[in-house]
Amino acid sequence: MYVTLAEMARRVIEPEQFVADPRAFVDVRLPQSKGKQSYSFIGPGVSQNSEQVINLMEPHGFNVGAASLPAGAVNNPHLHFTAEVFICTRGSFRFTVGLGERAESVDVGVGDVLSIPTWVFRSFENTGLDEGWVFTVLGHDITGGIIWAPDVLTEAAETGLYLTVDGQLLDTVNGDSIEGVERMPLMSTDDVASLHQPSAADLRARLLQPGERNWSRGSLLSSSLPGHDVHTAPIIGNGFSQAPNPTVPIEGHHGFSLSWLSASPHHQTGLHRVMEDQVAYLIDGQWEIQFNDDTSSISRPEPGSVVSLPAGSWRNLRSVGDDEATLILATNGDARPTIDWSPSITQAAHDNNVSLDANRCVCPAHLVHHRGGTGSSTPDLNHQQPITGREK
């Protein structure tokens, strides 16, 4: 698949293109939530504002967004039907799961990744001194919206904000009428009490901190080549890795996998394609994203950018700064992604006695090349259909 220059530009979302929405949710006027803002980068997420700006609507199998809170502000209790994963990039937060005396809390800081179970109430507070940021990945294209804790809807109504039964936000202060409108019912006490309550140990098991990243050298076919010093560390699922026996830190069905990538200065993954939609969130350092098998489609997004990598497209991820560069890759689906390498990389790796086994995992070439195939492929780079955008 060939990515045109216009399509490449559409899929690179830099921080200056982030559009904050201070009206995304029903709780934004509550005193404890003053200054809370939401962002929708890929997909609508769970926003309740029909006027929310979405940078890229095209379905990826998951949604990517963010939330920012000033010091002391709170995102109030609500629950999700699909996976919700938080990546803290600025500040510190306390996440609380559950309501009342049954609730459990965990502290989250920069570099931490936290997965919250479905069908449990969650809230979080900025415990730092400055504005804090968390990026979010939500399972599936259609999330089903959210359910707010009963007290939140009651308090929001006192500020003039209501939800319709289908989750649309109504603002009587700005002229919306609720007369004759079927409103979102409050969750009953019995329904709230029946929800599963994770223990403190359960919650801690869904938190991955920087010191717990299990970095793997040689987890990609290209890793044996000079100038390809790229390491991977799984977060959720097998992720972007061809290691034969990776240890998955956060388990469970999410509908997507997450992996850390780290590249030494001026090192690269090498030209490859992935047969599932991916999104790269550029954390640190300076990354260069090359689309296609030529050098005419290259982007150097600012750190903090979100980059959509369409399924089946060729790409090379290169660290071009003087410092280590890191990013997080989200990949559609729970299964191990399918990674194809360019013929030149496949051959060069084989010359270094590195190949792929029938499970498409990295192994010594001399142990598999005579056993009926290696699971590797030599795709034709010259026959590529252009990607022009499935939904603008």
- What class, spelled out in words, does domain 214-387 have in CATH? mainly beta
Give the total residue count for the chain.
392
257, 139 Cβ separation under 8 angstroms: no
Given this model, what pLDDT does residue 303 score?
96
DSSP 173: G
Write out the residue limits of the CATH 2.60.120.10 domain(s) in the chain.
14-208, 214-387
> Domain 14-208: which topology?
Jelly Rolls (2.60.120)
Per-residue pLDDT of the chain (392 residues; tens, 9 = 90+): 789 999 999 999 999 999 999 988 999 999 999 999 999 999 999 998 888 999 999 999 999 999 999 999 999 999 999 999 999 999 999 999 999 999 999 999 999 999 999 999 999 999 999 999 999 999 999 999 999 999 999 999 999 999 999 889 999 999 999 999 999 999 999 999 999 999 999 999 999 999 999 999 899 999 999 999 999 999 999 889 999 988 899 999 999 999 999 999 999 999 999 999 999 999 999 999 999 988 888 999 999 999 999 999 999 999 999 999 999 999 999 999 999 999 999 999 999 999 999 999 999 999 996 555 445 555 666 555 666 565 44
Given this model, what pLDDT does residue 392 score?
40
27: number of Cβ within 10 Å: 24
Distance CA 1, CA 9 (A): 16
Chain position carrying tokens 């949604």: 63
DSSP 237: S
110, 91 Cβ separation under 8 angstroms: yes
Given this model, what pLDDT does residue 391 score?
46
Distance CA 89, CA 135 (A): 7
**370 exposed, middle or buried (CB, 10 Å; 0-12, 13-18, 19+)?**
exposed
Going by their DSSP bridges, the two strands 256-263 and 230-236 should be labelled as antiparallel
- If you count DSSP H runs as helices and E runs as strands, how many of each does the chain have, helices first? 5, 29
Given this model, what pLDDT does residue 183 score?
94
Q: Strand, helix or coil at 224?
A: helix
Long-range contacts (CB closer than 8 Å, 24 or more residues apart) made by 242-249? 242/339, 242/356, 242/360, 242/361, 242/362, 243/216, 243/218, 243/219, 243/361, 243/362, 244/357, 244/359, 244/361, 244/362, 244/363, 246/214, 246/216, 246/219, 247/214, 249/208, 249/212, 249/214
Given this model, what pLDDT does residue 238 score?
86
pTM exceeds 0.85, yes or no: yes
